[in-house]
Amino acid sequence: MFPLQRGRRLRVNESIRSLVRETTLSPSDFMFPMFIAEGENVKVEIPSMVGIYRRSIDLTVEEVKELFALGIRAVNIYVKVDESLKDNTGKEAWNPNGLMQRAIKAIKSACPEMIVMPDVALDPYSIFGHDGIIENGDVANDSTNDALVKMAVSHAQAGADFVAPSDMMDGRVLRLRQGLDVAGFSNVGIMSYSAKYASAFYGPFRDALDSAPREADVEVPKDKKTYQMDYANRIEAIKEALMDVEEGADMVMVKPGIAYLDIVREVKNAVNVPVTVFHVSGEYAMIKAASERGWLDHDKIMMEQLMCIKRAGASLISTYFAKEAAIILNR
């Protein structure tokens, strides 16, 4: 009770504040999402994501080495697939010589200790831009799961440490766990996008991979709301995370990040596995745009948001700010 208790005593200077700080950040808290393109010496900036690039495998490998030197220990990788390779089956997704498979091999060869978590979903490979196979005007759950198992096993064969299913099909974690085990990859983990909301914050990401739903001559869903979660829901996120853990997920993810910190804490309280949070492309783009106009202090707001995500319960933060934040922390 005041005046015996004065909260400001613990805020007098930075030394005291750091002594009693409840949450801390380090580069090993971050995972860096990377976009990979065909070719050599290719580096193309994504217009809606200032400072983020699609890189060819050779330049991706060089970037991975830099990330590892900064203390970042995980990358989440996505590929920009040529239009000629897209169809409604997603078969290019498990091509042993596909771009993703070659990228995994190259990264693990150059930097064996970097944890590689390739994305598992069919939208980069789909002529319709959906995360699964279209049947009868909708995304077919079970046949999509069959395809995702082939995809995940091919990633494991290429050297992936974890697979990261972002598709939101029912039962896919169980099917992936069974498929990986049967193929001899019981030590390959699953980081499941358990609470992935149907969010407008993903726009810049879909620009990066050209993976937004498209109009077609056949009936297809106009958006991803039949499989991604309704952002009005909270209890559903807990249910999805618990189901994924029961099915064999080693980590669960909440996506997006800052706008969903209540969900992060709820999921953290409910599960007994690490919780990953995806600080998504739209959240990144907003900070970049506002700071370019002088409305926000870029580095301060970046670090504040990352700290808040960690404080909410994140064990790992997938963020496009990973490299910038690691440089600041290493200073």
Q: Which residues are catalytic?
A: 196, 255
Identify which of 250, 240, 230 has the alpha carbon closest to the alpha carbon of residue 316.
250
> Across the strands, what pairs with 255?
196
In the chain, which ranges are continuous DSSP H helix?
Answer: 14-19, 57-69, 99-110, 141-158, 172-182, 203-209, 235-247, 261-270, 281-292, 298-312, 322-330
What gap in Å lies between CA 230 and CA 237, rounded to an integer?
10
Both tokens of 181, joined, read 């085990």
- Which residue(s) pair with 118 in the sheet? 77
Sign of CA dihedral 186, 158, 92, 215: positive
The token pair at 289 is: 């745009």
